[in-house]
Chain A
């Protein structure tokens, strides 16, 4: 039952601080390693030249945006079910970081789209899904911001997050289908992993960097929330 020991805000406060510091350092290390691999070690793409390197930020950011939404919904559900303050605070703390990564994914995606497809926005399945995910994050944050009573705000946000999480796969697949309706299925002929190993390593390193950053930032945010309430 050690978890419930840490569920008390007083005991969690120092632990959060320690974890946040460790993760901040880890984030910096991974980021340097990932950017090095992404920009110097990975080979040039046959069709796109150097421009493709933006995927080392775009793809991990997209992964993070989806992962954080699920995590946020999970914390919110936990808070709703077990009635623990800290779980609700974790969900509230994750939202802005998740929204940030969604925005980064959209921004880098459209920057990459310009030289490759000729326009800044291409309505392809991934970018469109990311855009809707951004709206879901904003909705969550707006709902919580507009309710003054903390308890109602936490619980209402939890219901919204759970409904959103359940809908995300449905939204994703319907956008995928919509895209094929207008652009045709993605044509790929090789069954083997289509990316060189170094490219994959670079993306994993950047994903780890973003993850460590998320942990550090959201734990710091939770600490701020705890201080505010004192």
Chain B
């Protein structure tokens, strides 16, 4: 079981490395969106400091959605997906591995880039760290829930936009808890509670989402 998962993750990582441009585009989108807000609302430092957690979190949500459309599409196109569905490996493990690879390629870079963006907003060090931590807990959940949407909209025309409509409302708790934890920390009141709740969401999503993703994949490829 573990070998299958590891093999799948390595395969996806290798494929992503060969298509570096796709990955880089989503990250660049993240940076651009976060940089647009000061242009829109003005560069007043207090304002920027107060909107930073929310803005960076929303940019992370949008960047995640951009990269999700491709999660199953390539495998679907070249027939690998069918092999996975027919294969002996439990589908739940397969999709969990794919979601994990997606996070490594698209989510982890967001976590690492966030402190740089926090510099743009003059967010103090500890808060930037809190932001990165909240993203580290939240982006895997985004990958898992987003994978459900990607599986449901597989092969549909206008799939990308439809995917966003389906998945963004489900992202709301993660956004609220993630940005909220940083806001609590900025008011000097910890924010650990929100991080613990995010961790709980992650555990539940990791256990339950693979089932839904597998079911959705089977439905979409009949």
**Contact residues of A with B, CB < 8 Å?**
132, 135-136, 138-139, 142-143, 146-147, 151-152, 155-156, 159-160, 162-164, 166-167, 170-171, 173-175, 177-178, 181
Contacts and interface: CB of A to CB of B under 8 A. Distances in A.
B212 A159 contact: yes
A151 B220 CA distance: 10
Given A139-B165, A152-B220, A159-B152, A171 B173 contact: yes
Given A156-B219, A181-B183, A171 B156 contact: no
A156 B172 contact: no
Contacts of B172: 132, 171, 174-175
Given A143-B153, A146-B158, A159-B152, A167 B170 contact: yes
A136 B169 contact: yes
Contacts of A155: 219
Q: DSSP majority for the A interface?
A: helix
Interface residues of B, number: 28
B26 interface: no
A77 B173 CA distance: 24
A181 B187 CA distance: 11
Contacts of A166: 208
A178 B166 CA distance: 22
Q: DSSP majority for the B interface?
A: helix
Contact of B170 (A143, A163, A175, A177): A163
B162 A170 contact: no
B215 interface: yes
A177 B197 CA distance: 12
B176 A152 contact: no
A147 B173 contact: no
Contact of B166 (A132, A147, A160): A160
Nearest to A182: B183
B173 A167 contact: yes
Contact of A156 (B157, B170, B173, B216): B216
6 contacts: A135-B165, A143-B162, A146-B157, A160-B166, A162-B212, A171-B169
